[in-house]
Amino acid sequence: MVRLLTAGDTDVGLRLNNEDAYLTSPELGFFALSDGMGGAASGEIASRCFIDTAREIFESRNHETAEVLCSMVHEVFRRSNSRILDHVAESPSNRGMGCTGELLAFHKEFYMIGHVGDSRIYLFRDGKLRQITKDHSLVQSQVDSGVLSPEEARNHPRKNIILRAIGIDPALQLDVIKGTVRDQDTFLICSDGLTDAIDDGIIREILSSEIAIDRMARTLILSALSAEAKDNITVILCKHILGSLLDQWQKQ
């Protein structure tokens, strides 16, 4: 039997308020993260809308099949997108508000991801770190077209310009990614406050450590803070582990 060990943590960084929001629900097999944009309270409203919508949909329905799970993932993004657009229509002063959206859900030995924006989901497997999602950002599009190298993109002054966000366009484009889960897989969901501050090598080193998963999440954030992260930083960790090994991990 496969079980989930999970942890989530967030820090305001050098910002005045935290526009990130996240949710861990191992009992229901899903995890969500959102990074708000729009300034002041409006970014917080948008990110919270996405998280609340995910909770609402997953708590009201059972995903007995992969097909049902897929429809639930789509519905989270469709409904939160519509709600943010409705909010802006009623409150024009909040025009421009929106958020990224990361949703990771599990069905038996499979995982399913919904992704919009430049927050990220990584998979750490067999000592190797792989970014599963692709940023919907200006610099990523320029990397794809060969205009920029990955190294140039990392320090580009326009790296935070995103091309897709929830709550901006009624015709929201959603990436849905599916895969198979293995024993000891660790998924990292994070806002760009983490990945703007530390590179994948540091992330891999921390995920390779033998510390408890809640300390691992905090270590990621502390590493970003030590690197003078300017943005909010939020991380979720989810580790798949066989039930027979669960007690050993919980004692760490």
Is residue 250 one of the residues assigned to a domain? no
- Whether the pLDDT of residue 150 is over 90: the answer is no
Is residue 182 one of the residues assigned to a domain? yes
Instruction: Please compute the mean of the pLDDT values over residues 211-239 and round it to a whole number.
Output: 96
Is residue 69 one of the residues assigned to a domain? yes
Is residue 91 one of the residues assigned to a domain? yes
Cβ–Cβ < 8 Å for 2, 183: yes
pLDDT at 243: 56
Is residue 145 one of the residues assigned to a domain? yes
Percentage of the chain modeled with pLDDT above 70: 93
Is residue 252 one of the residues assigned to a domain? no
- Whether the pLDDT of residue 211 is over 70: the answer is yes
- Whether the pLDDT of residue 249 is over 60: the answer is no
Q: Which domain holds residue 40?
A: 2-242
How many domains would you assign to the chain? 1
Is residue 248 one of the residues assigned to a domain? no
Q: How confident is the model at residue 245 (pLDDT cuts 50, 70, 90)?
A: very low
pLDDT at 2: 57
Is residue 59 one of the residues assigned to a domain? yes
> What Cα–Cα distance (Å) separates residue 200 from each residue in 56, 103, 173, 242, 247?
33, 21, 27, 27, 30
Instruction: Please compute the mean of the pLDDT values over residues 99-128 and round it to a whole number.
Output: 96
Tokens 């995890």 — which residue?
Answer: 31
What lies within 8 Å, CB to CB, of 190 at 6+ separation is 33, 119, 120, 122, 220, 233, 234, 235, 236
Q: Could you tell me which of 227, 166, 51, 30 has the C-alpha nearest to residue 111?
A: 30
pLDDT at 40: 58
Please name every residue paired with 30 in a beta bridge, in sequence order, or none if there are none.
25, 105
* 116 token code pair: 């919009």
**108-117 confidence digits (pLDDT tens):** 889 999 999 9
Instruction: Please compute the mean of the pLDDT values over residues 47-74 and round it to a whole number.
Output: 92
> What Cα–Cα distance (Å) separates residue 133 from each residue in 81, 116, 122, 167, 178?
20, 9, 7, 20, 11
Please name every residue paired with 187 in a beta bridge, in sequence order, or none if there are none.
123, 238
pLDDT at 252: 45
The CATH number given to whatever domain includes residue 142 is 3.60.40.10
Please name every residue paired with 129 in a beta bridge, in sequence order, or none if there are none.
124
**Mean pLDDT rounded to a whole number for the chain:** 91
Q: How confident is the model at residue 158 (pLDDT cuts 50, 70, 90)?
A: confident
Q: How confident is the model at residue 247 (pLDDT cuts 50, 70, 90)?
A: very low
**78-92 confidence digits (pLDDT tens):** 999 999 999 999 998
**181-201 confidence digits (pLDDT tens):** 999 999 999 999 999 999 999
pTM beyond 0.95: the answer is no
